[in-house]
Amino acid sequence: MKTQLITIILVLFSNILFAQIKLDPELIDLAIKMKKEFPKQEYVSLGTSSIYNFSYGDSTVECEELLEEKIMSLNENVTFYEYLIFNDQVDIGFVYMKNYKGRKRKLVVKKEKYKSNGIFYDDASVATFNMFLTTRGDNATYFVETKIKDVKYFTKAYFHKSYPIAEVSLVLNIPDWLELELVEENFDGYDIIKSESYNSKDKINTITYKLKKAEAMLGGNYTISAVQELPHLLILSKSYKKKGKTNTLFNSTQDLYDWYASLIKEMDNKPLVFKDKVESLTADAKTDKEKVENIFYWVQDNTRYIAYEDGIMGFKPANADDVYNKRFGDCKGMANLTCSMLKEAGFDARLTWIGTKSIPYTYATPSLAVDNHMITTLFLDGEKYFLDATEKGVALGQYAYRIQGQDVLIEDGESYILDSVPEFGDEYNIKKTIYKLSLIDDKLFGSAIEEFHGEEKTNLYRSLGNVSKSELFERVSKYVSNYDKSNGIADLHISNYSNRSKPIIFEYKIVVENKITAVDVEKYFSLELDRKFSSMNVEENRNLGYDFQQKVHNYYEVTLSLPANYIVDYMPDSVFIDNSEFLFDVKYIYNKEENKIKYTRKIIVKNGVVSSSNFDTWNGAINKLKEIYNDQIILIDNQ
Amino acid sequence: MEINFKLILLSLLIIMSSYGELLAQRVGSKDAKREMGFSSDEDFNITSFPDKWKEESAVILCQKHDFSYIKHGLNKIKFNVIIRRRVFINDQKAKDEYSIFYFIERNGENDHVGYIVEKPDGEKINVDLSDAVEVGANEVSAEYRSYYSYNDSYKKIAIPNLEVGDIIDYYVIGSKSYDGSSELIFSQFSFSLASKYPIIKQKFFFNVDKGFKVNFRAFNGAPEIVEGEPGINKQGRQKDKIKTYIVEDDNRDKKKYEYWKSYTLEEPWIKFQVYYAMGSQATKSIQLISKEKDLVNSPIDLETIRKKIVLDKRMVTMAATDINELSKRLRKVGNVENKAEYIYYYLKYWYFKQLRSYTNFDYENGDYANINYMRFANLFAALLNKFDIPYKYVIAVDRDNGGFDNVIFTNDLTTGIKVKSKYFFYFDNNSLSTDIPSYILGTDAMEFYTDRKHKDEKAKMVKIPVRDYNYNALHSSLKVSFNESMDTTYIINSDSIVGSMKDGYSKLVLYKTSYLDQDKEYLFPEKVRKEKEEAARKSKNGTRKSKRSIRETQEKERTEAQEKQELKEWRSDYIIDFFENDFKIAKVDSVVVASSGRLPNSPYLLVNSYFRAEDFISKAGRNYIFNIGSLIGHQLELETEDMKREADINVTNVLSYNFNIELQIPDGYYVENVDALDYNIVSDLAEFTAKATIDGNIIRVNTSKKYKTLYASKDDWNKYIDFLEAAYEFSQKKIIIKKNK
């Protein structure tokens, strides 16, 4: 009861207590100065340090991170939130703070399951805590201990966060008995200072990295993964010595494979469970390829995907029969089911590890950070096919952008096979829209055809997959009308919606109203109906690249037949911008003999990424594009 | 008002989460619970559905709601509910929707929920609930969450092996115990029998013990309630004193959505509520229950309604100092209506001051609240009594309820006070004494005196007045010009907003406005003037400030400047909100609230803004196209399916939107296509008019869009189509700004 009373009093008067804090005037001045420098930030870090210590665990090496960070408020009444992800391999130890006077305070840590889209049976949890800072310049330091049970799960260390940090230091106290390799990734262009010292008494080599003024990591829509652009340490745990014996961790790719293979051996697949299903799927198939397609597509269509984690949890796939019975699983489970069903049908199928595009490392780097995904490799008629059942709507031999060109580690008994998934050019993902229109009575009449290939097709397939049968035509009509009531759609025909190997095609009739302004003998209008990319300016201050998650190839064409009595008085300019990352080619052409205007627009993002260094050129191209979109054709009645 | 299945489920979760004790006397062992959940009920053998529904995502083959209210000994009441539903999964969308369920685990048991997947060949697969995983409350959507759930752990179950063509059959059981020594009021249920999916069969079953009262009404073709066989007591024995009531409904098409449709007046609708009140307690309740009858399923007489509602008189707990303060000021106020108005504003000021003192309600920083309508009427009446101001009590029926004949809950009604000819209804932060809630405009009401002198007088039936559409109006005056390079449009906008039109706008632009200061100044101008003078005098004579004090003052000023900036950004949303569908606002330079519109001497909310917009203007060779129509904001776009009308039209309020646009033609240019801006679509129900004129180098365009009546027959839908289409068409209009030849 007494405790409760005190709590209540504290809560009631907490504002008053806080309001009376007496800060060092220099800190207030510093906060004001930093607010000017970072007007959008509510707080900054005056320094963050992570110290990594290593010790022997029961059967391997444990790693402990001691994180200490001093946060200063740049506004009044600011709450600083911190999130720590943990799981069965990572524990959160102590968490506390010291206020601006250095007095130790408890922090309330709330732990709950980590929420991410569609994740079901995932070990990840999140611990959150917050610190309340009352005035500008108010500051507090938090201390967190994290314990990693097995050093092989300690794979990366970063310098940057979502707010500016005055100084970051990463300190690794590596004992003589532990062999770690530190790979400095993306250090170019950053003034990161490395120093080393050796404590001969404890036989510990201390490696320190320091970075001053670490900018806030600012992303936005479609942010590129941090490992692709930001400096970080890739930590390779090679081996350790204990009682005179050297124990290998991941010294080579073979070591990594051996560990993965040991997990696979623990699986207990029961193919009998899906034997009948495999038989029914393959019974009427005329060729081996057709059999494979039937199995692969069945898994795609009937097994719900459960998001995998880009992290260190669960490297062991669920049993194939379990995934089959439940009809859901993560990438490993789905790969295992695909693989096992193919084997049941008599094919040579192997489990395969892969890192998606967001991971820039190759299997030359023996680390758990190299991959985050699992697929199946099928050996058929001397060719390899990579089957990713999590990619709904993908045909056999077609590959999602996220795995294209990526290294694969294919199981092969005691050994392994290294290969890579074929990579396709931007034209693989072409989205083509072609209108043939005529101008009659201040309206545009005509027909259109839209084609979706590659990634465009699978994206569409996935989004339409959730539409009810009765809504499908209505949804597609609205989509092709650009959600504009003035674009009337009729006679819509949808082709290949369920045929994976062909592009999805929409054909329809269109009447465009309210878009032509007619004055006396003149008519004003634009042939740009969908204004694609016009709102794709990169946000101000963003310093992380723009990742479209696919190579983009967007082609749009309108051919307009003019009434015989009309001639073109004016047409908007053309745009042509071509560099290593993107192409904008937009033009109007008037064919006098046929009295037709042809408007074409081609936009290509060659590798699917616009680097931060190219943002100015990109924004310039978008602005130019908007100018064209806003410009109008003028026709004149010459009779 | 509409409660769907998932909301009922929500109520269950509330029941289960707030009390650990689960499951009723009728439910003993785990197996018994399961058996009851999936009872052998022939209605749940339905496996197919008519062809007319073959394109639907899902069809509800059968659903049943079983509510049981049974006494346990002298003073213990047990409420049990079982909901069972059987759904045919007809496409991927439905498969996704029914693939995940959330529930709360209690005492380590999951036995109050059950899920079976039934395959086309009849195979039944029991979903193993031990596969359910714990999830954080933040993942659980509102429909599954209880109000107390923040720290609750939820379980999430993925329904395995669910495929298109399967049937999912599931149940939820809830139970709660109550102390039956006093009156008990159970949740109100009010919902359409139509759902987002068609329903082949549905049944509502009530098992009520002696002492329970059921109020039930069916509307718009919904089936009536019928009494069934005697019900079952706690030992599972059939007893005459336990009554059962059943509502059965078959072959129900899915719900159809239309603009301005009153679903309660159009859809097959049922409402019910159960009370427990023994003997004389029944008369004390403000609920509309009958002392004599166990079931009320016909109109409740007006006298009962009148007596019950006015019964809830509460004392004003205003301190003597407050009363004295009010009394002093009232002496200076003229006639009775003005006195009542003053009391209204005083009560509002007092109420929010109390709210701020006793709760964490942050009135001055944008928190929004309103006083309960009954509490308002009773507090206001008590104050009027105190100052001998005669008044009538008013009870009005909410428009969506049709009329007094359809009333079943006290919530169907709104109470107010009438002083002479002036009505007063409950207030929120921004209300004026003249405001009448839009949902009672034009509805049936009864008025009566409550004093002893008039106790034998019958209530007078009246209609709550509907004001002219000009009372709920937006007048927007826009001065438009361009930058030199003609790619940016400058807009100086003055909005004047009055009546119910203010509701949405006020919350946005008055964010962080110090309402209490405004109210205080209005109520006590002299006192506030003196306080201000005193503060100014003190500040002038103040002693020399220390360095620390100067620093603190500077810091305070900085903070205030920052808050001002934040406020500006918040108010910018007001502009962006209006235009965001059409154009990109490049920059909002200023938004100033010239008048809050929340005081009787200045009822208009006046907002002046200045902003720049991109995309309004586009180039065409040497000329420019200006999207002048877009200045009236985004207009409703009727789709082909909206052209047919099945329901009558019930507009929320009569409204008018008026725009006066003045466009400065740039030097060296002239304008064409101005004639195309003229519209004159006028009917007795609605209108859209627009008139454009050129006056030197200014184009003036005046538009007006009016919703003139609250109600119209569906046969008149064409009149709405005409005016809505005209407004949309206008919003697409462009003018050509041409270089002089």
- The per-residue pLDDT for A123 is 62
| A327, A486, A630 ranked by CB distance to B160: nearest | A327
Instruction: Please name the amino acid found at residue B512.
Output: K
pLDDT in tens, A72-129: 999 888 889 998 888 878 899 999 999 988 888 888 888 776 654 433 345 667 888 9
* Residues 6 or more apart whose Cβ sits within 8 Å of residue B222: B193, B247, B249, B268, B269, B270
Q: Which residues of chain A have pLDDT under 50?
A: 1-20, 116-121, 308-313
Query: Does residue B547 carry a pLDDT above 70?
Result: no
pLDDT on residue B312 = 52
Give the nearest partner residue to B91 out of A114, A469, A485, using CB atoms: A469
Residue B39, pLDDT above cutoff 60: yes
Report yes or no: B88 and B58 within 8 Å, Cβ to Cβ: yes
Portion 656-675 of B in contact with A at CB < 8 A: 672-673
The minimal CB distance from B736 to the residues A515, A517, A633 is found for A517
List the 481-520 stretch of B: residues with Cβ below 8 A of A. 487
pLDDT of A312 reads 37
Confidence of residue B166 (pLDDT cuts 50, 70, 90): very high
According to the model, what pLDDT value does residue B33 have? 57
Q: Nearest by CB to B555, from A136, A325, A468: name it.
A: A136
Q: What band does B526 get if pLDDT is binned at 50, 70 and 90?
A: confident
In the DSSP assignment, the letter for residue B576 is: H
Structure confidence by residue, pLDDT tens digits, B173-228: 877 888 877 778 887 888 899 999 999 999 999 898 888 888 899 999 999 999 89
Q: Which residues of A touch B131 (CB under 8 A)?
A: 326
Chain A residue with minimal CA distance to B140? A115
The reply to whether residue B94 touches residue A468, judged by beta carbons under 8 angstroms, is: yes
Estimate to the nearest angstrom the gap between the alpha carbon of A269 and the chain centroid: 32
User: Per the CB < 8 Å rule, is B158 touching A519?
Assistant: no
Q: Are A126 and A85 in contact (CB under 8 A)?
A: yes
**CB B213 within 8 Å of CB B26:** no
**Mean per-residue pLDDT over chain B, rounded:** 83
Instruction: Enter the tokens of residue A309.
Output: 């984690």
Adjacent-strand bridge partners of A590 = A597
Q: Do the chains contact at B138 and A112, CB–CB below 8 Å?
A: yes
Task: Quote the pLDDT of residue A9.
Answer: 29
Q: Is B158–A120 a contact, with Cβ atoms under 8 angstroms apart?
A: yes
* A631–B163 CB contact, under 8 Å: no
Q: Are B296 and B277 in contact (CB under 8 A)?
A: no
| Token duo for residue B357 | 């003192």
Which of B148, B222, B156 shows the shortest CA–CA distance to B189?
B222
List the single best residue of A29, A110, A113 to mutate versus B (max B Cβ within 10 A): A113
How far apart CA A94 and CA A85 sit, in angstroms, is 14
Q: Do B96 and A466 touch (CB under 8 A)?
A: yes
Every domain range in chain A assigned CATH 2.60.40.3140? 2-247
DSSP one-letter code for A543:
-
Res B650 pLDDT > 90: yes
DSSP A424-482: --GGGGEEEEEEEEEEETTEEEEEEEEEE-HHHHHHHHHHHTTS-HHHHHHHHHHHHTT
Kindly state the average pLDDT of the residues B124-130: 88
Amino acid, single-letter form, for residue A520: D
- Is B574 a residue whose pLDDT tops 70? no
A143-152, B6-15, B685-694: the lowest-pLDDT one? B6-15
pLDDT value at residue B315:
55
Note whether B216 and B243 are within 8 A (CB).
no
Which residue in chain A has the smallest CA separation from B93? A466
Domain B470-499+572-739 class in CATH: mainly beta
pLDDT category of residue B316 using cuts at 50, 70 and 90: low
Is the distance from CB of A341 to CB of A320 less than 8 angstroms? yes
CB B271 within 8 Å of CB B660: no
Q: Both tokens of residue A574?
A: 């053309």
User: Would you call A268 exposed, middle or buried from its count of C-beta atoms within 10 A (0-12, 13-18, 19+)?
Assistant: exposed
CATH class of A253-420: alpha beta
| Domain A426-637 is found in CATH 3.40.1350.10 | no
Which chain A residues are closer than 8 Å to B729 by Cβ? 514
Classify domain A2-247 by CATH number: 2.60.40.3140
Residue A46 backbone phi and psi in degrees, to 5 = -85, -10
- Top residue of B734, B735, B738, B741 to mutate, by most chain A CBs within 10 Å, is B734
Q: Mapped to the 3 state alphabet, what secondary structure does B100-126 carry? A: EEEEECECCECCCEEEEEECCCCCEEE
Q: What are the start and end residues of each CATH 2.60.120.1130 domain in chain B? A: 470-499+572-739
* Amino acid identity, position A211: L
In this prediction, residue B141 has a pLDDT band, given cuts at 50, 70 and 90, of low
Assign A303 to helix, strand or coil: coil
Mutate which of A81, A470, A529 to disrupt the B interface (most B C-beta within 10 Å)?
Answer: A470
Contacts of A485 in chain B (CB under 8 A): 637-639, 728
- B456 three-state secondary structure: coil
pLDDT for the residue numbered A639: 76
B129: closest CA of chain A, how far (Å): 13
**Alpha-carbon span A19 to A32, nearest angstrom:** 18
Report, as an integer, the average pLDDT of B599-608. 92
Residues of each domain in chain B carrying CATH 2.60.40.3140 = 5-298
Highest-confidence segment of A65-69, B75-79, B313-317, B505-509 = A65-69
Domain B5-298 top-level CATH class: mainly beta
Q: Which chain B residue lies closest to A115 (C-alpha atoms)? A: B139
pLDDT score at B108: 58
Taking CA atoms, A165 is separated from A38, A160, B522, in Å, by 11, 8, 50
Which residue of chain B is at minimal alpha-carbon distance from A113? Answer: B136
Chain B, nearest residue to A302 by Cα: B163
pLDDT band of B518, cuts 50, 70, 90? confident
Contact list in B for residue A633 (CB cut-off 8 A) is: 620
In this structure, of A576-580, A601-605, B165-169, B281-285, the range with the lowest mean pLDDT score is: B281-285
Mutate which: B100, B141, B149, B161, vs A, most A CBs within 10 A: B161
ipTM of the complex: 0.73
Domain with CATH 2.60.120.1130 in chain A: 426-637
Q: Tell whether B560 lies on the interface with A, counting CB pairs under 8 A.
A: no
Å between A588 CA and nearest CA of chain B: 13
Q: Chains A and B: how many Cβ contacts under 8 Å?
A: 118
- Whether B275 and B289 have beta carbons less than 8 Å apart is answered as yes
Question: Where along chain A do the CATH 3.10.620.30 domains lie?
Answer: 253-420
Which amino acid is residue B556, in one-letter code?
K
Q: Please tell me the total number of residues recorded for chain B in this structure.
A: 741
Asked if the model's pLDDT at residue B539 lies above 80, the reply is no
Tell me what pLDDT residue B145 has: 53
Name the residue of chain B whose CA is nearest to A112's CA. Answer: B136
Question: Is A113's CB within 8 Å of B135's CB?
Answer: yes
B531 to chain A, any CB pair closer than 8 A? The answer is no
- Judged by average pLDDT, the poorest of B153-157, B231-235, B307-311, B662-666 is B307-311
Task: Map residue A593 onto helix, strand or coil.
Answer: coil
CA B616 → CA A504, A527, B613, B619, distances in Å? 35, 17, 7, 10
CB-based contact, B75 to chain A, within 8 Å: no
Q: pLDDT at position B619, please? A: 87
Task: Give me the pLDDT at residue B18, please.
Answer: 30
Q: CA nearest B94 in A: which residue?
A: A468
CA distances (Å), origin B424, targets A555, B345, B420, B436: 63, 11, 11, 7
Q: Which of A469, A486, A632 sits opposite B620 (nearest CB)?
A: A632
Residue A22 C-alpha, separation from nearest chain B C-alpha, in angstroms: 10
For the cut 70, the answer to whether the pLDDT of residue B363 exceeds it is no
A443 Cβ contact partners less than 8 Å away, ≥ 6 residues apart: A511, A512, A513, A516
User: Which residues of chain B are within 8 Å of residue A329 when distances are taken between CB atoms?
Assistant: none
Sign, Cα dihedral of B527, B533, B535, B537: negative
**Per-residue confidence band for B144, with pLDDT thresholds at 50, 70 and 90:** low
The confidence band for B77, taking pLDDT boundaries of 50, 70 and 90, is confident
Q: Per-residue pLDDT for B460 more than 90?
A: yes
